[in-house]
Amino acid sequence: MNILMIGNGFDLYHGLKTKYSDFLNFVEQINGSTSDHIFTDEEIELFRKNDSDNKRVEFLRHLYQENIWYKYLRDRYKINKKSMVNWIDFEREIEHVVIFLEKYFNYQNRVNDDDIDAIKPFDFYKKQYPHVEHSDIFRMCEDKNYLVVNDPLKRELDDFIKGLSIYFQYYIEAISLKDMQENTFVRSLLSNNVHVLSFNYTHLFDKAYQSFEVQDICFIHGEAKDDGKNMVLGIEEYLDDDEKNSQLMFVSYKKFFQRIVKGTSNAYMGWLKKCKDDKEMYMEKNLNYQNELIVFGHSLDPTDGDIIKKLIDNEFIDTTIYYLNEADLESKVMNLIKVIGEDHLIEKTSSGQIEFNKISEK
């Protein structure tokens, strides 16, 4: 079996503006509040033109003016830019807030000044309850009623994801992907009957690579459609084994929970079983057979570690991981150490079951 696992780097390699910072900049530009015009006037005008009843523009305006997650993430991005870091990881920023709340409501003695400082810009409670003078979460949570805090957080995150879906569905899909062509280098890596495991929201592969016979596509984080109802934007498990099955106050922010509740595809589990069955069948007949996994454009970040581990730390699958440059290679190796462990990584790279290849210039 041939499996292609793609992350956001795959979309970026094809020239799509799918970084989280691109979404923030798009909303700012729609609202006329940025000098960083990374989108052309023609693109913005076409987006507006396609929004005949103006509902999508109005929703993004509401997001810009009112949404507590948008405001928080925008502020964190501005802080990053002052430090010459021109990107933001939504999942990590959300994780900072959720872990703080978890510590506060379940283990107040674990909260420290660094936790509080990390989320001071997040003034959701002040918006919901204007009479509260203090905007930092530590003071807002004094009543210890986590539902008072968590319910508006969840509603606003759903709205934020809807806004993200509007961007992906009506800008990326409708405008940027319209005339997308396949990339020669990517094409050279693939074979027919490929199974695609996509961590992206876009339909880039099935639109640009129609010449391939695709066996199946699994959108593990959902797709850009239906107002983002099945789009996953969450965090990894951060509790230990004793706590994760009992401390469920903030489980709705975790990726595994969202995948279950939102009903995203888990077809890859069936692929894993077939890889095992096929390998064992050929081994019984003393025939050589390889299940191959190609990883392109995925950071291998531990936020997706539960899925990555099942694929890469798998005795029945050989893996080739593509990287952009030396810094990207080092980052991927470090992430793999976190996901499968140092010993397993050394063993698999030594045996050739995991290989790293550099991506060719476009």
Please give the average per-residue pLDDT across 178-202, as a whole number: 91
Angle between helices 342-351 and 326-340 (to 10 degrees): 120
Helix (H, G, I), strand (E, B) or coil at 250: coil
Note whether residue 127 is domain-resident. yes
- Give the pLDDT of residue 190: 87
Predicted confidence (pLDDT) per residue in 301-317, tens digit: 999 999 999 999 999 99
pTM: 0.89
Note whether residue 125 is domain-resident. yes
Note whether residue 152 is domain-resident. yes
User: Which of 146, 174, 202 finishes a domain?
Assistant: 174
- Give the pLDDT of residue 5: 98
Note whether residue 257 is domain-resident. no
Residue 273 CA from chain centroid, whole number: 25
Task: Please check whether residues 282 and 336 belong to one and the same domain.
Answer: yes
Phi and psi at 202, nearest 5°, equal -85, 165
Q: How confident is the model at residue 125 (pLDDT cuts 50, 70, 90)?
A: very low
Note whether residue 307 is domain-resident. yes
Give me the domain span that covers residue 136: 20-174
Note whether residue 230 is domain-resident. no
**Number of compact structural domains in the chain:** 2
Task: Please check whether residues 164 and 185 belong to one and the same domain.
Answer: no
The CATH number covering residue 322 comes to 3.40.50
Q: How confident is the model at residue 130 (pLDDT cuts 50, 70, 90)?
A: very low
Helix (H, G, I), strand (E, B) or coil at 318: strand
Task: Please check whether residues 312 and 194 belong to one and the same domain.
Answer: yes
User: Which of 137, 157, 174 finishes a domain?
Assistant: 174
Share of the chain above pLDDT 70, in %: 88
Note whether residue 251 is domain-resident. no
Task: Please check whether residues 107 and 212 belong to one and the same domain.
Answer: no
Task: Please check whether residues 148 and 105 belong to one and the same domain.
Answer: yes
Burial 148-177 (b: 16+ CB within 10 A, else e): ebbebbeebbbbbbbbbbbbbbbbbbebbb
Mean pLDDT, the chain, rounded, equals: 87
Task: Please check whether residues 159 and 214 belong to one and the same domain.
Answer: no
Pairing of strands 354-358, 2-6: unpaired
Residue with tokens 């509740």: 261
147 pLDDT higher than 70: no
Task: Please check whether residues 93 and 158 belong to one and the same domain.
Answer: yes
Please give the average per-residue pLDDT across 328-337, as a whole number: 97
Task: Please check whether residues 43 and 113 belong to one and the same domain.
Answer: yes
128 pLDDT higher than 50: no
Predicted confidence (pLDDT) per residue in 8-56, tens digit: 999 999 999 999 999 999 999 999 887 678 899 999 999 999 998 999 9
Task: Please check whether residues 339 and 285 belong to one and the same domain.
Answer: yes
Task: Please check whether residues 188 and 84 belong to one and the same domain.
Answer: no
- Give the pLDDT of residue 43: 94
Note whether residue 301 is domain-resident. yes
User: Which of 113, 148, 174 finishes a domain?
Assistant: 174
Predicted confidence (pLDDT) per residue in 241-295, tens digit: 889 999 888 999 999 999 999 999 999 999 999 999 999 998 888 888 889 999 9
Task: Please check whether residues 51 and 200 belong to one and the same domain.
Answer: no
Task: Please check whether residues 10 and 24 belong to one and the same domain.
Answer: no
Alpha-carbon distance of 203 to 65, in angstroms, equals: 30
Q: Per-residue DSSP letters for 93-148?
A: HHHHHHHHHHHHHH-GGG--HHHHHHTTT--HHHHH-TT----SHHHHTTT--HHH
